[in-house]
Amino acid sequence: MDRESIEKQVKELHQLLNQYGYEYHVLDNPSVPDSEYDRLLRELQDLEEQYPEFITPDSPTQRVGGVALSEFKKVRHQTQMLSLANAFSEADLRDFDRRVRQAIGDDFSYVCELKIDGLAVSLRYENGIFVQGSTRGDGTVGEDITANLKTIRSIPLRLKEPYSLEVRGEAYMPKKSFLELNKIREEQGKQLFANPRNAAAGSLRQLDPRIAASRNLDIFLYGIGDFGTTGVTSHHKGLDLLEKLGLKVNKERKQCHSMEEVLEYIEKWTNERSQLNYDIDGIVVKVDSLEQQNQLGQTAKTPRWAIAYKFPAEEVVTKLTSIELSVGRTGVITPTAILEPVQVAGTTVQRASLHNEDLIKEKDIRIGDWVVIKKAGDIIPEVVYVLEERRSGTEIPYQMPEHCPACESELVRLEGEVALRCLNPKCPAQRREGLIHFVSRNAMNIDGLGEKVIGQLVALELIKDPADIYYLTKDQLLTMERMGDKSSTNLIEAIEKSKSNSLEKLLFGLGIRHVGAKAAATLAEHFETMDRLASATIEELLQIDEVGEKMADAIVTYFENQEVEQLLTKLKQAHVNMTFLGQKRSQTADEDSYFYDKIVVLTGKLQQLSRNEAKEKIESLGGKVTGSVSKNTDLVIAGEDAGSKLTKANELGIETWDEVRFLEELP
């Protein structure tokens, strides 16, 4: 055969194998025997061996790479992967429904979907070809697990249409695969996986994709990073589009027109979830209209248009043998129940949070009690109630101490709080917890400086505050247990490297009350330097959308502290960066800019800029980019193959530009 005929045969085999794979793994309705699929795959492998120039990334032979990775690379998501707020009761759901109605009125519908218990992942397609897959990570940056995701047969390597988009889904391990895997591990004398979710997550974080391939994982896709790139106007139509493109979407979804319908759907699957061949841990409820989603917006961490209802947790009985106290970095004293080990929702539990003194009194929890425990949201163990009828009279009522277990300072309860708190700023437990937080991954991310090393450094009085870390010497480290020449050198290098972190890392690491990682990033971007933030007034802080009164007051109070001023001076003298180094998502723009305070929609394919680049330029000039056209839209920028959005803009009489005009307006 000539080369043209060979190339044609290869393409025909691609098409056949992709179709048969889709029928088997997505539709669960194979049209040919496995032997026929295997025969065609061997035929393709033989051709690619002889003519490697015809091997393409979307070839069915490329699902399992033979080379193991040394590490996972970091991947920045094109659109943030938000987490969902949780609901644990009908009251929580009705409260969510009330908030939605207050914001957008009564004319809307919900989409309910099964909440798959697996690992959230993102898949990126360019012109229909699967080019990258990643974990959720912190929502902004995940890990590249492309090679492992390619081993999931229900993920198409080529879409049925040449879309460029980022889709989100949940990779999971079917119950049958989980039982088979644990059977093999048991025969090999290896530790068993506690549940399918842990098994799926562990499989996708294997550096060798051949291991992931052996685990028989699957996936359901549930969304698109930016629906605006697709032309669809509702979530359920977006799911229909994913199916049309050949992606696997859960069939059990339902459009609901009232909270009563939502509750009926939840009741059905609460009762029937055991019949599924995969685990679910709840129901996701989303407002269907994308325009209404945009109206509702989001908080720093979660969308206001969606919520995850978590099923009632499995409950078990065990004995509470003692209560331990821990001191957090903000001085809060937290009691923890020590339990006789027991299995709950697939994991062994020995400790459960008791939260605070009021809860212990309210539930009359005593040392020696038999108690019922559950995992709140199937994650956090907690004591539900005491089995009083099983008391023998030897149980001991618990009394919270009056003094801090770490420094003996008197404990106080601040107005409006239920927690007891140690207010001693020099409390060693608070100092230790604060230091552990400072070096953690989302803060200064100092590799090698974990809890045990921090504990040693504090015990040896080598560090008392975060700034002391930057004055440590190799000779000091060598005096510590299990700290040799190489590990000491590596730690000094890691500390030095952290000096160049962007401001938001340092700001989060300082542990200011109410300032989480997201808020730290917003503050760093807005003020740009630590000095500007430190001198900000409450009024200036409240001008930022994500900053409320409590956070603003906490920030001002923090920087008024003389000890904080001394700490920042020490950090500056150690040459720790105090400036925002990231790329600004937005900035106060010149009011003369055309885009200032304008709502802009991008549609179609731009030639000179990517969609993200165009969005960043508009936002840097004071504009806001949204995903759907409405009467509030000021401008639509249309590239090639602009579809329904351009049509709607014309119907509404909204100004439209082509890419050339857009580029002319940019400075």
**pLDDT per residue over 523-534, tens digit each?**
998 999 999 999
| 492-511 as b/e: b if 16+ CB within 10 A | bebbeebeebbbbbbbbbbb
* Domain made up of 428-573: CATH architecture: Orthogonal Bundle (1.10)
- The reported pLDDT for the residue numbered 583 is 63
**Cβ-proximal residues to 528 (8 Å cutoff; 6+ apart), any chain:** 503, 579, 580
Amino acid at 363: K
Which residues participate in catalysis according to the annotation? 115
Superfamily grouping for domain 315-397:
Nucleic acid-binding proteins (2.40.50.140)
Residues of the chain with CATH 1.10.287.610: 3-63
Structure tokens at 241: 């589009």
CA distances from 298 to 232, 439, 633 (A): 20, 29, 19
- The reported pLDDT for the residue numbered 251 is 94
Residues of the chain with CATH 3.30.470.30: 86-310
CA distances from 550 to 331, 412, 538, 556, 560 (A): 18, 20, 10, 10, 16
- The reported pLDDT for the residue numbered 275 is 84
Q: Where are the alpha helices (DSSP H) in 231-388?
A: 235-244, 259-272, 290-296, 357-362
**pLDDT per residue over 507-522, tens digit each?**
999 999 888 887 898 8
Per DSSP (E only), the strands in 71-118 are 74-76, 86-87, 110-116
Q: Which fold has domain 86-310?
A: D-amino Acid Aminotransferase; Chain A, domain 1 (3.30.470)
- The reported pLDDT for the residue numbered 25 is 64
Superfamily grouping for domain 599-665:
BRCT domain (3.40.50.10190)
> What residues in the chain have per-residue pLDDT under 70?
1, 24-26, 28-30, 34-35, 63-70, 186-191, 194, 228, 300, 313, 345-346, 376-380, 583-592
- The reported pLDDT for the residue numbered 428 is 87
What does CATH list as the number for 3-63? Answer: 1.10.287.610
Residues of the chain with CATH 1.10.150.20: 428-573
Residues of the chain with CATH 2.40.50.140: 315-397
- Determine contact, residues 135/142, Cβ cutoff 8 Å: yes
Q: Specify which residues 605 forms β-bridges with.
A: 640
